[in-house]
A = this chain, B = another copy of it.
Amino acid sequence: MSEENSLGSVEVSLSPLQRFEEYIQSRRKRMTPQKKQLLEHVFSRHEHFDADTLIDNLPDDAKGIGRATVYRALSEFVDAGLLREFQLDGRAVYEHDYGYPQHDHLYCKECQKLIEFQSDELIELREAVARMSNFRVTGHRFIITGVCEDCRMSKRRRRQRLDMI
């Protein structure tokens, strides 16, 4: 389920916060109001975000949290297996990992939307490829880029309007 974290696979029975507390203790780290607030906010909605968006959307009672703290917390969350991180157009993007099934993305370069999809076949393919190269897999990143349905449709609409002239 969760890959590339440092606690290995654990069944989902704990809340993200409980899971993080486990991690904190296993690493002699400390729980702080900042980390707690960030974690709660991050898990309050299932969507993709980057550090900046996160900071901008922080609730008022968490507005005082410094940039560096946010960055530091995000890497802890990733390390704890709560979040998954990947690069998109040069910046880091995060999404829920803990308690969320493995999946990949379609990325619309018009509207920057990320659409999730799941494919067991891809995992099989990944294992087959790795086996051939004697490679030990810890994870992968598969992003299909293009134009999403919505953007295709609004483009077509625009084209039709022009054709009428």
* Distance of A121 Cα from B164 Cα, bound (Å): 42
Contact B142 A146 (CB under 8 A): no
> Given A122-B125, A125-B119, A137 and B145 touching (CB < 8 A)?
yes
Identify which of residues 78-95 in chain A touch chain B, using a CB-to-CB cut-off of 8 Å: 87-90, 92
Contact B142 A147 (CB under 8 A): no
* Distance of A145 Cα from B149 Cα, bound (Å): 30
* Distance of A90 Cα from B142 Cα, bound (Å): 16
Contact indicator per residue, chain A 81-114, by CB within 8 Å of chain B (1) or not (0): 0000001111010000000000000101100000
Contact indicator per residue, chain A 115-158, by CB within 8 Å of chain B (1) or not (0): 10101011001100110111111111111111111001000000
> Which A positions have Cβ atoms within 8 angstroms of B?
4, 87-90, 92, 106, 108-109, 115, 117, 119, 121-122, 125-126, 129-130, 132-149, 152
Residue of B nearest to A144 (CB): B140
Contact B145 A133 (CB under 8 A): no
Contact B129 A109 (CB under 8 A): no
Shortest Cβ distance from residue A121 to the other chain B in the assembled complex, whole angstroms: 6
Query: What 18 new A-B contacts, CB under 8 Å, besides A133-B149, A140-B145?
Result: A87-B88, A87-B89, A87-B90, A109-B138, A115-B133, A117-B129, A117-B132, A121-B121, A121-B125, A125-B125, A126-B144, A130-B144, A137-B144, A137-B146, A138-B146, A139-B145, A141-B142, A142-B142
Shortest Cβ distance from residue A89 to the other chain B in the assembled complex, whole angstroms: 8
Give the residues in chain B near A117, CB-CB below 8 Å.
129, 132-133
